[in-house]
Structure 1
Amino acid sequence: MTAALEIAGLRKSFGKTEIIRGVDLSVGNGERHAIIGPNGAGKSTLFNLITGRFPPSSGTVRLHSHDLTGLAPFQINRMGLSRSFQITNIFPRMTVFENVRCSLLWSRGYRYSFWNIVSRSRDLTEAADEILEQINLTQRRNLPAGVLSYAEQRALEIGITIAGGANVIMLDEPTAGMSHSETDYIVDLIRQVTDNKTLIMVEHDMGVVFGLADRISVLVYGEIIATGRPEEVRANPRVQEAYLGAVLEAEH
């Protein structure tokens, strides 16, 4: 399988504290890959290294064989990688429609211009409305994004994430803090909007992980201790000892 994302020898230290300790990982095109591990394992730091928010201490990250070292987050985004965050990241005072339309501007050719009136652009409006329909928020189109329910705000953020046309989508704990029904709604949405795309997600809900992921990597203390299909990871004695056994026991 051709790799969408390749990580080799990735390390990150803050002062004398090493958080990511030599991560190697390859995620194939079209794969849904989950990264799991205990709190403090370095999962969000790894996401931040991949997306350019933090510079690595050493190692490389490649997107479709292109080295991302030294690139800013917006440059990486324009190369086809987009992400969401643990904390919902939307414009609460703008309408749901305006949030999505903003995220479409660059990919649709709108640059820094004072004379383009985006409200008159039919293709931009149609594209935004298509995404709203895809994320089931058409009925909320004209509401301020800040009044949406928590699950709807997460759905909107996913819509913003995919709006730029990225083919690699990274989601950081997309179902955190949700009820069972909200989780089911978001999982169905993720499955739909990442069809034919590469998905990399950090998630603590093992039901979500085992239901969505083609492969799983387990990160513990900054190192990947196992990668494989869900059934392989579930049966791995080292994973059970370090993380999974305690999680599954707590869930029951």
Structure 2
Amino acid sequence: MSELAVELKDVRKAFGRAEIIRGANLQVPKGQRYAIIGPNGAGKSTLFNLISGRFGVSSGDILLNGASINGLKPFEINRRGLSRSFQITNIFHRLSVYENLRCAVLWSLGYRYSFWQRLNGLRDAHERAEMVLEQIGLRRRRDVAAGLLTYAEQRALEIGVTIAGGAEVILLDEPTAGMSRSESDHAVELIRRVTEGKTLLMVEHDMSVVFGLADKIAVVVYGEVIACDTPANIRANARVQEAYLGGHAPVEA
């Protein structure tokens, strides 16, 4: 088996008496793109919050590159090479596109909080921000305030912020939510391009995005991973059809 980037071992999460994640197991090899799908309320976002450290597990273990990250804070997990985006766009609206990206690269380049160091003199941060700017296709919008971007451009910028720090494991939470079909198609190409050679784990409701981008699909129902397989096998899986669509139709792209 390939070396694993992310591994969930019998992960459980309860809020009071309500058990949301019920013994989830998942193995994501390095360099693979995995999508998590499932009905509303299945626990997909909770899993993301557990992996990224926003929530702590009730029991079980989560490993990043073979090492347990249980109990670590989100920023500590980020420094170990995992970065995530959110369902709701999370950028600095008053800063320019370029300034958002420059903020995102500073820590990964070794810069810490300083009142005396001028940002304009940080050549490596400038070069990294410019490179990401090119990757996400927003060079012509470089000096525009992020709050003035279109919705699709803001989502592209958030993806840029997510990858700017150089993390090798990327979590994207519904990256195409609210987009038109053409915007979604553009976003898929962007995600494919910027995650090349990295590990991607995403939650997504748009099945055309899922089947067009993922190497493997994990299906979560009632807090358990009931299947994890290639898109073709997931589409034909009778248990997935029953759990996800009530058995009335196959899962289609």
Provide the C-alpha distance between the structure 1 equivalents of 2:203 and 2:55, rounded to a whole number of angstroms.
17
Provide the C-alpha distance between the structure 2 equivalents of 1:75 and 1:93, rounded to a whole number of angstroms.
27
Q: Tell me the SS of whatever aligns to 1:60.
A: strand
Does the CA contact (< 8 Å) of 2:152 and 2:179 recur in 1? yes
Counterpart for residue 210 of structure 1: 211
Provide the C-alpha distance between the structure 1 equivalents of 2:142 and 2:133, rounded to a whole number of angstroms.
7
Deviates more, 1:236-245 or 1:137-146: 236-245
CA deviation after TM superposition for structure 1 residue 244, in Å: 4.5
Provide the C-alpha distance between the structure 2 equivalents of 1:95 and 1:184, rounded to a whole number of angstroms.
25
Counterpart for residue 23 of structure 1: 24
Paired amino acid for 1:137: L
Does the CA contact (< 8 Å) of 1:234 and 1:244 recur in 2? no
Q: Does 1:68 align with 2:69?
A: yes
Counterpart for residue 117 of structure 1: 118
Give deviations 1:136-178, integer Å, cap 9, x for gaps: 0000010100010111000000000001110000000000110
CA deviation after TM superposition for structure 1 residue 123, in Å: 1.9
Distance 1:247 1:81, change over 3 A: farther
Q: Tell me the SS of whatever aligns to 2:211.
A: helix
TM-score relative to the length of structure 1: 0.97
Paired amino acid for 1:112: Y
Deviates more, 1:11-20 or 1:239-248: 239-248
Deviates more, 1:36-45 or 1:123-132: 123-132
Distance 1:41 1:247, change over 3 A: farther
Paired amino acid for 2:194: V
CA deviation after TM superposition for structure 1 residue 115, in Å: 1.3
Q: How many residues align?
A: 252
Paired amino acid for 2:162: T
Does the CA contact (< 8 Å) of 2:241 and 2:249 recur in 1? no
Counterpart for residue 143 of structure 1: 144
Provide the C-alpha distance between the structure 2 equivalents of 1:139 and 1:171, rounded to a whole number of angstroms.
25
Provide the C-alpha distance between the structure 2 equivalents of 1:10 and 1:189, rounded to a whole number of angstroms.
32
Counterpart for residue 176 of structure 1: 177
Q: Tell me the SS of whatever aligns to 1:30.
A: coil
% of aligned pairs identical? Answer: 64
Structure 2 portions without partners, runs of 5+ = none
Q: Tell me the SS of whatever aligns to 1:176.
A: coil
Q: Tell me the SS of whatever aligns to 1:107.
A: helix
Q: Tell me the SS of whatever aligns to 1:111.
A: coil
Counterpart for residue 85 of structure 1: 86
Which of structure 1's runs of 4+ aligned residues deviate more than 2 A? 244-252
